[in-house]
Structure 1
Amino acid sequence: MIGRLSGTLAEVRPPLLLVDVQGVGYEVLAPMTTIFELPALGQPVQLHTHLAVSETVQQLYGFLRDAERKLFRTLIKISGVGPKLALAILSGLDGAALARCVAEDNVAALVKVPGVGKKTAERLIIELRDKLTPDFNHTNDIPLVPATAAPEVNHVSEAESALAALGYKPAEASKMVARAGKEQPDADSATLIRLALKGMVPA
């Protein structure tokens, strides 16, 4: 079991990361809450990881904080929630926002996540009610270094692809990114994704 990766951040193609560990590149899927806080390309990065194994694939999932990994592992134990859906949930809602949804029985906010229907949202609320704790929002003193983008990147296309990978339909992803672009012209892909997902978080 691979529980942690320490290496150099070689590539970011949300939600996929490539971490170089002594010459070996590890592909890691990460929620947008982690991607938004990554250091710049070429900088050291340490991720708490979870290895999901199925009949057809083995996939690493990575998180900057152990609390986020614990929440991910809690989510995938819930009936109907697999790793891909858990990744989508944590991309739209950080631990604190998810805790508010659960405390307030906010089904409407949860069903905005692609793949979460009303029954799944209700099940999430019931099963998470006694399991969420405030430490999911701790920073753990992670240094925030602005991410650097590669030159000539099509930020709109990259943002749309990231949202599609999280489960949003292509047409819906395009509309979300277009709205984000109007809100902040010339934004990079990470900012477009952040703005597109902003409506997911309950006030």
Structure 2
Amino acid sequence: MIGRIHGTLLEKQPPNVLIDVGGIGYEIQMPMTSFYQLPEVDQPVTVFTHFVVREDAQLLFGFADKVERGLFRELIKANGVGPKLGLAILSGMSASQFLQCVQHGDVSGLTRLPGIGKKTAERLVVELKDRLADFGKNQNVALPDLEARMADKGAIISLNDVREEAQSALIALGYKPAQASKMVSGVYNDGMASEAVIREALKAAM
């Protein structure tokens, strides 16, 4: 099991990153709530990871802290929730927001996330409410707060590149191409970096 990676951040293509560790590049998929906290390219970075082995692939998922990784691990234990959907959930909501939805039975809030219909949302509430009741209390660090991660990062690139990168990230998180395009168009303003566009698009979807 690969549980933690520390190295140099080589590439950022949301929701994917490439981290160099002693000459070996690790490709890692991250939820956007963790992605927003990454440093600039060529800077040192540490991520907590979850390693998934399938018949056709070996995948690494990365998180800014152990809390989000722990919640991801609880999510993928739920019936019908795989790593891709778990990534989408933690991209649309912070860990604390998701816990609040589950504890309050907020099915409508959960259905705003890509790939989650009413039945899936109801099942998540039923399966996870008791299991996650003491989740936050049992952690040694505070629950992540999405609003505390709002500082824009990343270099501003051309309009087309920004919009295409943002759309690609949303599609990778489970949104349909037409939906992703509409979401980006609805929030983009001149001068925005792609990470800011993605963040605002996800906020507007909620």
Same fold (TM over 0.5): yes
In structure 2, the residue matched to 1:30 is: 30
* 1:161 matched to 2:168: yes
In structure 2, distance between residues paired with 1:70 and 1:144: 23
In structure 2, the residue matched to 1:149 is: 155
In structure 1, distance between residues paired with 2:13 and 2:143: 25
Q: Check the 8 A contact 2:88/2:113 in 1, yes or no.
A: yes
In structure 2, the residue matched to 1:187 is: 192
Moved more, 42-51 or 150-159: 150-159
Q: Percent sequence identity over matched residues?
A: 48
Count the aligned residue pairs.
196
In structure 1, distance between residues paired with 2:12 and 2:119: 34
**Ranges in structure 2 where 5+ consecutive residues have no aligned partner:** none
Distance 1:144-1:121 versus aligned 2 partners, 3 A rule:
closer
Considering only aligned residues, what root-mean-square deviation do their CA atoms show, in Å? 2.1
Q: Check the 8 A contact 2:152/2:196 in 1, yes or no.
A: no
Question: TM-score, normalised on structure 2?
Answer: 0.88
| One-letter code aligned to 1:149 | A
Distance 1:146-1:194 versus aligned 2 partners, 3 A rule:
closer
**Ranges in structure 1 where 5+ consecutive residues have no aligned partner:** none
Secondary structure of 2:112's aligned partner:
coil
Moved more, 96-105 or 23-32: 96-105
CA offset digits 1:121-157 (Å, max 9, x no partner) = 0111122213142643279xxx999633375471000
Q: Check the 8 A contact 2:156/2:191 in 1, yes or no.
A: no
Question: TM-score, normalised on structure 1?
Answer: 0.90
In structure 2, the residue matched to 1:198 is: 203
Shift of 1:20: 0.7
Distance 1:150-1:57 versus aligned 2 partners, 3 A rule:
farther
Distance 1:150-1:28 versus aligned 2 partners, 3 A rule:
farther
